[in-house]
Amino acid sequence: MSSISDRIRLVRRKVDVAPPVQNPVNGTVPDLANDPASKGPTTPRSESSEVDTVNLSSSPLNPDADEFIPQQQDVLTAEESDFVEFNTMTCMVELIQSPHEFEEVCNNHKSEFEFMLADEDLVLKLVCTLLMSLLKEPNSQYIGVKLAKWLKDIAPTSNFLRTLMNCLEMDFNKMVQDLPTADPAGVRSMSLLLGEFYVRFPDSSGRRFVFISEAILDLCENLLQCDVPGHILTLGLLLKLTGQSLAEDCPTKLGQIIDGIKKIICKTDDWTTVVLMTVMSTYTNEWQIIDQLDSE
């Protein structure tokens, strides 16, 4: 498997370097600079001694013209677009698996991602691939949210943010519906991903997303009611990640969740008990104090 940098450079050459126009008959590239035919028919010079004047008011080369005529830009063919799409998706997946290359890719190779973020259909594919990769790759939530934030920042006018939040909400709702029979590992991945988005991914005004905080609290209530040991461990890990933010945004509901934990902690295994005890201790010594300070 080639490195991420090599793969990105391959895509960059496809995006930035337009192929020369070839003769459809013999495949040769014409020399437009020295080919008389490319310059058009010649016109005899006027017999007048005065120099002929040219009206630049409508020249396509004059940006101050009455009617500026932009030059035709190079456009990727369908095959080239598919090439860029496939390789950019592959780069993103490999980036999630190799987070140590994050800075190099993000700082030096933006054009391919910007190309995809400018197209609404490609944005949806990008978001779906991102979320799917994050849910499959263990412990990838932090780097995934970091990547999503970078994508949002490099294309502020794109519909990336709206698409991401819609897909995240749909995935969450589906998980909650299937919670009693869902795989605990999958629930944990989705829950921690949601938690990372809540604490590290602000909206356009710099605040945390309200719907994510509400979703996390609903999820905590559902996890409390599930008689699945793996789900209770997920509850503890999720609260360790989001507890301080929830204490600032939803202190009353967080207190209700903590009360629910006190009722079930005696039924949990040793590791889950340690996690839940840590959550309750932090709530008492730190998060509850935040609530008291805010209410004064």
Residue 277 binned pLDDT confidence (cut-offs 50, 70, 90)? very high
Dihedral, 225, 228, 229, 234 alpha carbons, nearest 10: -70
Q: Are 242 and 216 in contact (CB under 8 A)?
A: yes
Position 234 confidence tier, pLDDT thresholds 50, 70, 90:
very high
pLDDT by residue (tens digit) across 173-211? 999 899 988 999 989 999 999 999 999 998 878 889 999
Report whether pLDDT(128) > 60. yes
Cα angle value 139/97/107 (rounded, 5°): 110
**Region 133-137: what's the mean pLDDT?**
84
Q: What is the pLDDT of residue 289?
A: 72
Cα 17 to chain centroid, rounded: 26
Helix (H) or strand (E) holding 169: helix 160-177
For 15-54, what is each residue's pLDDT tens digit?
Answer: 454 444 444 444 454 454 455 444 444 444 444 444 444 4
pLDDT score at 10: 54
- What element of type H or E holds 290? helix 288-295
First-to-final CA distance of the chain: 58
The answer to whether residue 237 scores a pLDDT higher than 90 is yes
What does the pLDDT look like over 171-181, one tens digit per residue? 999 998 999 88
Is pLDDT at 152 greater than 60 in this prediction? yes
Neighbouring CB atoms inside 10 A of 154's CB total 14
Angle between helices 120-136 and 78-97 (to 10 degrees): 30
- Looking up tokens 């006018």, which residue turns up? 157
CA angle 62, 68, 70 (to 5 degrees): 95
Q: pLDDT tier at 74 (50, 70, 90 boundaries)?
A: very low
